Chain A
Amino acid sequence: MKERAFSDRSYEEFLKEEKLMGSRCKRCGALYVPPRALCTKCFNTEMEWEEMKGKGRLIAFTCISVAPPSMMKQGYNRNNPYCSGVVELEEGAKVDARIEGVDVKDPENIKIGTEMKVKFIHITDGKEEETYLAFEPV
Chain B
Amino acid sequence: MKRKGKLARGVAVVGAGMSRFGMFKDKNSKDLFLEAFREMIESVDKGMDVNDIDALYLGNFTNDFFVHQAHWGPIISDLIGLSPRPATRTEGACASSALAFREGVFAIASGMYDVVLVGGLEEMSKKTTEEVAEGLALATIPYEGKVGFTFPGVFGAIATAYFERYGANREHLMNVTIKSHNNAPLNPKAQFPYTIKDIMNMKKERAKKKGLDVPRWEDEKDFLRDPKANPVVAWPMHLYDCCPISDGAACMLLVAEDIAKNFTDDPIYVAGIGQGSGRGLHACDDLTSFEATKYAAKEAYSMSGLSPKDIQFAEVHDCFSIAEIIHMEDLGFFPPGQGYKAVEEGLTRLDGSIPINTSGGLKCKGHPVGATGIAQLYEVWVQLRGKAGKRQIPNPDLRVGAAHNLGGTGGTCTFTILERR
Closest to A110 in B: B160
Q: Mark A52-87, 1 if CB is under 8 A from B, else 0.
A: 000000011111111111111000101001101110
* Pairwise interchain contact B156-A132, C-beta atoms closer than 8 A: no
Q: Which residues of B contact A64 (CB under 8 A)?
A: 148-150, 152-153, 156, 233-235
State the CA gap A93–B233 with chains docked (Å): 28
Chain B's nearest CB lies how many Å from the CB of A97?
Answer: 5
* Pairwise interchain contact A60-B234, C-beta atoms closer than 8 A: no
Q: Tally B residues with Cβ within 8 Å of A.
A: 37
* Pairwise interchain contact A65-B142, C-beta atoms closer than 8 A: no
* Pairwise interchain contact A94-B282, C-beta atoms closer than 8 A: yes
Q: Which residues of A contact B154 (CB under 8 A)?
A: 62
* Pairwise interchain contact A66-B133, C-beta atoms closer than 8 A: yes
* Pairwise interchain contact A94-B281, C-beta atoms closer than 8 A: yes
Q: Mark B216-252, 1 if CB is under 8 A from A, else 0.
A: 0000000000000001111111000000000000000
Chain A's nearest CB lies how many Å from the CB of B130?
Answer: 6
Q: Mark B140-163, 1 if CB is under 8 A from A, else 0.
A: 011111111110111011111100
Q: Which residues of A contact B280 (CB under 8 A)?
A: 96
Closest to B143 in A: A96
Q: Which residues of A contact B153 (CB under 8 A)?
A: 62, 64, 84
B178 at the interface (CB under 8 A from A): no
B283 at the interface (CB under 8 A from A): yes
Q: Mark A83-105, 1 if CB is under 8 A from B, else 0.
A: 01110000001111110000000
Known: A64-B148, A66-B234, A132-B147. A59 touches B133 (CB 8 A): no
A8 at the interface (CB under 8 A from B): yes
Known: A65-B232, A68-B133, A96-B147. A60 touches B282 (CB 8 A): no
* Pairwise interchain contact A82-B148, C-beta atoms closer than 8 A: yes
State the CA gap A10–B133 with chains docked (Å): 29
- Give the A-B pair count, Cβ closer than 8 A: 108
Q: Tally A residues with Cβ within 8 Å of B.
A: 36
A133 at the interface (CB under 8 A from B): yes
Q: Which residues of A contact B233 (CB under 8 A)?
A: 64-66
Chain A's nearest CB lies how many Å from the CB of B210?
Answer: 23
Q: Which residues of A contact B234 (CB under 8 A)?
A: 62-66
A137 at the interface (CB under 8 A from B): no
* Pairwise interchain contact A68-B150, C-beta atoms closer than 8 A: yes
Listed residue (B141, B159, B282) with the most chain A CB atoms within 10 angstroms of its CB: B282
State the CA gap A109–B287 with chains docked (Å): 20
Known: A66-B152, A69-B130. A61 touches B160 (CB 8 A): yes
B164 at the interface (CB under 8 A from A): yes
Q: Mark A33-47, 1 if CB is under 8 A from B, else 0.
A: 110000000000000
B137 at the interface (CB under 8 A from A): yes
Chain B's nearest CB lies how many Å from the CB of A60?
Answer: 4
State the CA gap A15–B231 with chains docked (Å): 35
Q: Which residues of A contact B149 (CB under 8 A)?
A: 62, 64, 84, 96
Q: Mark B61-104, 1 if CB is under 8 A from A, else 0.
A: 00000000000000000000000000000000000000000000
Closest to B283 in A: A94
Q: Which residues of A contact B283 (CB under 8 A)?
A: 94
Please tell me which one of the listed residues B148, B161, B281 contacts residue A98 in the complex, with CB atoms under 8 A apart.
Answer: B148
Q: Which residues of A contact B134 (CB under 8 A)?
A: 68-69
Q: Which residues of B contact A63 (CB under 8 A)?
A: 156, 232, 234-235
* Pairwise interchain contact B281-A60, C-beta atoms closer than 8 A: yes
* Pairwise interchain contact A95-B235, C-beta atoms closer than 8 A: no
* Pairwise interchain contact A62-B235, C-beta atoms closer than 8 A: yes
Listed residue (A8, A62, A69) with the most chain B CB atoms within 10 angstroms of its CB: A62
Chain B's nearest CB lies how many Å from the CB of A77?
Answer: 10
B109-151 interface with A by 8 A CB criterion: 129-130, 133-134, 137, 141-150
A-B CB contact pairs (8 Å), 29 listed: A8-B142, A60-B157, A60-B158, A60-B160, A60-B287, A62-B149, A62-B152, A62-B159, A63-B234, A64-B150, A64-B153, A64-B233, A64-B234, A64-B235, A66-B150, A66-B233, A69-B130, A70-B148, A84-B153, A84-B157, A85-B157, A86-B161, A86-B281, A86-B287, A94-B281, A94-B283, A95-B143, A113-B164, A133-B147
The 10 A-B pairs with the shortest beta carbon distances in the complex, nearest first, are: A62-B156, A60-B157, A60-B161, A63-B235, A112-B164, A107-B235, A62-B153, A64-B234, A84-B148, A62-B157
Q: A33-B282, A96-B280 are in contact. List 17 more A-B contacts (CB 8 A).
A: A34-B143, A59-B287, A62-B149, A62-B234, A62-B236, A63-B232, A64-B234, A67-B148, A68-B148, A71-B148, A78-B231, A81-B232, A86-B282, A98-B147, A107-B236, A132-B146, A133-B147
Q: Which residues of A contact B (CB under 8 A)?
A: 8, 33-34, 59-72, 76, 78, 81-82, 84-86, 93-98, 107, 112-113, 132-134
